[in-house]
A and B are shown apart, each in its own frame.
Chain A
Amino acid sequence: MVPVQWYLLLAAAVFCIGLFGILTRRNALLFLMSVELMLNAANINLVAFSAYWGNVTGQTFSLFTMALAAAEVAVGIGIILVLYRNFGDIDVTLAKEMRW
């Protein structure tokens, strides 16, 4: 059995990759992908601890998270479509109207 630390390290790595994507990319689609990565990093943690404790609650929650991620993608794609319609591009730094 693989010790739980490796799972955690994997999850941390995936999360950081997602975070890196969000902080550096300007493409909204890449944003969406990065968010997916971060969500799945959390999922890995949930499943890993679930297996570690022999309790299925964590796995159940990871299923919920997946459903949530699907919904989030639907909304996100919608937002990106509107972004494209209004700015002719999907560069997130263009949409700066809502500010001081």
Chain B
Amino acid sequence: MAAFDYAPAIVLLPFVSFLVALAGGRYLPKGGAFGGIAATAGSLLLSAWVFLTVSDGNAYNETLYTWAAGVGEGTTTLTFGLLLDPLAAMMLLIVSLVSLLVHVFSLGYMNDEGETGLPRYYAGLGLFTASMLGFVVADNLLMAFMFFELVGLCSYLLIGFWFRQEGPPSAAKKAFLVTRFGDYFFLVGVVAVFATFGTAKFAGEGSFPVLAEEALRGGTEVSTFGFAPETWFTIVGLLILGGVIGKSAQFPLHTWLPDAMEGPTPVSALIHAATMVAAGVYLVARMYGFYALSPTALGIIALVGGFTALVAATMGVVKREIKQVLAYSTISQYGYMMLGLGAGGYVAATFHLLTHAFFKALLFLGAGAVIIAMHHDEDMWNMGGLKDRMPVTYYTFLSGSLALAGIVPFAGFWSKDEVLYEALVHGLAGSPLLLAGYAMGLVAVFFTGFYTFRMVFLTFHGEPRTDVARDPHGVRWNVKGPLVVLGILAATIGFVNMVPVQDLTGIHLEFLHDWLAHGEISALTAEHYGELLHDFAGYSAADVASYVAGAVSLALALAGAGAAHVLYNVPDPDEHTEKLGAVKTLWYNNYYQDEYQVWLAQSVVLPVARLADKFDQGVIDGVVNGVSSVSLFAGSRIRRVQTGDVTNYAVLLTLGLTALLVVFGLMGGWFA
């Protein structure tokens, strides 16, 4: 397959653009932007080629480079390789397309606004894209982990792009540390996978999900360190889930994401739509064959997801800054994806990942356009009435908002509905955990509709509330172009998977199901995952018509949007959330999660660290220092032999010679 031979270039092209921008960005026009655009466009074309090849029923799962070969029995070999299956092919398209559009948008947001340090910016974007693409095509868990970390590093570099201001460096550090905390568990999980299975490959003969399945079926033996295999696989899965929760900003490690808004807006779009945050959910989907073996892990994923979806949505209701609202919506939407994965809706969650990538990139880029127009004022209460002054931004942003709120027929409705539907049918079939997740997801739908349209109405409708909003700064083609592309996608991408419509009318409209259900690597198909869920997790589906569930969530979304319309779509809206009183304060302060975590760090971790420090300084260093002080003391005394006086040396030489003679004499028996 020729396309697969060129597949490594998908990752390498943005990496080259990173090197070019870093080394020669200051000599290039636009700070190296064109290199990045060309590289991501190349990646997009190659991804499309790979996509077409995969759609012919091909797949690719090869090791390309062995960087640490295990020698002998019981050792492991560490490799880099490519795994290109329907899921990876789809994700490659998403990442390279969003990245290309973000590069183009950056021309308007960074270059036209006269920012400095652009080579650094474009180098960061290039490396970010390359790491995410590398993560997507990774064929084993260790390689995935390495690129996962690179993604985290790039987010640090880009969130802290304006490092001379006070906020961004601290937000960058927070993002890095919080995700790092989750990655710590991930790393332990990777080691556990190696220790258990001796391999970390995702697919093929002897890959770890296959081995785990065989072990549970009683076919092969793996070392489970004294646990029952089910328990041990759950533990390993939860360890890896730590990394996912950190990167995908799930409760309780979501606190870094709202702060990450300090970065440039195109970077926010990239982080939230296609890279970084998507990496976590993608990882669970990538090794779904492993998670499907553990009902406990699935239940926890679903519950964390549903809870996060609800909690984040409530916080989004009261925010003042447009990007903050979007940040909480991201957390909430990734909560839905986790809920979908936990509920056994592999296709549904992947679908939501796809639609969310487009509509959230759209919303962030739209917010970026608004921020340009408002001269970098992000407070929605200073906006208003922008819809007549920037119609392209308004209509595309509206398309994204309808998708986010889940209003039919925009993309978000179909995917979110399917996630909730999966949670409902599997929950009704006897899993109260999933039903709890479903309930929380359903309530979150109402809040999502409300905060989305509160944002739209405050920003674009009513009377302008400031002079800047009366006469906004114009935006050029490089801002409008990406918005239009994404606006159309956000409105239409739902057509790849309209299950309720298919159920109602009988027209075949579930292309994504078909896409993921079959494939050359049968262990990576949705069909196989369905069997695993049935056999091991005990999931079965209750009979609920998909359009009924869809109608319920649509009604809630419309109710939320309607409430926002009544309250905020007036010429001069009031801050109605003030009426919530203490609840508003609680939400505005993010349930005091930041304070709680700071408290945790200061009152629990710090004393423990102090204690450890005392032990280290006192006992460990004490022993070492004791040994060295003995020799220091001895040395300081003995060195006084070296007086520098020649006569003394002569005396010592003579005495030494005499002593030797006496010793020889005694030993040799001269005096006997």
A interface residues, Cβ below 8 angstroms from B: 19, 22-23, 26, 31, 92-93, 95-100
Contact = CB atoms under 8 A, between A and B. Distances in A.
A93 B642 contact: no
Interface residues of B toward A: which range?
10 to 19
Given A96-B643, A100-B639, 18 more contacts: A19-B654, A22-B650, A23-B651, A23-B654, A31-B646, A92-B646, A92-B647, A93-B645, A93-B646, A95-B644, A95-B646, A96-B644, A97-B644, A99-B642, A99-B643, A99-B645, A100-B640, A100-B642
28 contacts: A19-B654, A22-B647, A22-B650, A23-B647, A23-B650, A23-B651, A23-B654, A26-B647, A31-B646, A92-B645, A92-B646, A92-B647, A93-B645, A93-B646, A93-B647, A95-B644, A95-B646, A96-B643, A96-B644, A96-B645, A97-B644, A98-B644, A99-B642, A99-B643, A99-B644, A99-B645, A100-B640, A100-B643
Contacts of B650: 22-23
A23 B657 CA distance: 14
Nearest to A24: B647
Contacts of B654: 19, 23
Contacts of B645: 92-93, 96, 99
Nearest to B643: A99
Interface string B182-220: 000000000000000000000000000000000000000
A60 B651 CA distance: 31
B606 to A, nearest CB: 45
A100 B635 CA distance: 10
A100 B310 CA distance: 74
- The secondary structure that dominates the B interface is helix
Contacts of A19: 654
B36 to A, nearest CB: 64
B661 to A, nearest CB: 12
Nearest to B641: A100
A23 B647 CA distance: 6
A72 B404 CA distance: 97
A79 to B, nearest CB: 11
Contacts of A93: 645-647
A33 B640 CA distance: 29
A95 B640 CA distance: 16
Contacts of A31: 646
B225 to A, nearest CB: 58
A93 B646 CA distance: 7
Contacts of A23: 647, 650-651, 654
Nearest to B650: A22
B637 to A, nearest CB: 10
Contacts of A26: 647
Contacts of B647: 22-23, 26, 92-93
Contacts of A97: 644
A35 B369 CA distance: 95
A71 B590 CA distance: 90
Contacts of A92: 645-647
A99 B649 CA distance: 11
A31 to B, nearest CB: 8
Contacts of A96: 643-645
A5 B163 CA distance: 92
B633 to A, nearest CB: 14
Nearest to B646: A92
A27 B318 CA distance: 96
A45 to B, nearest CB: 16
A37 B650 CA distance: 15
Nearest to B657: A19
Interface string B631-667: 0000000011011111100110010000000000000
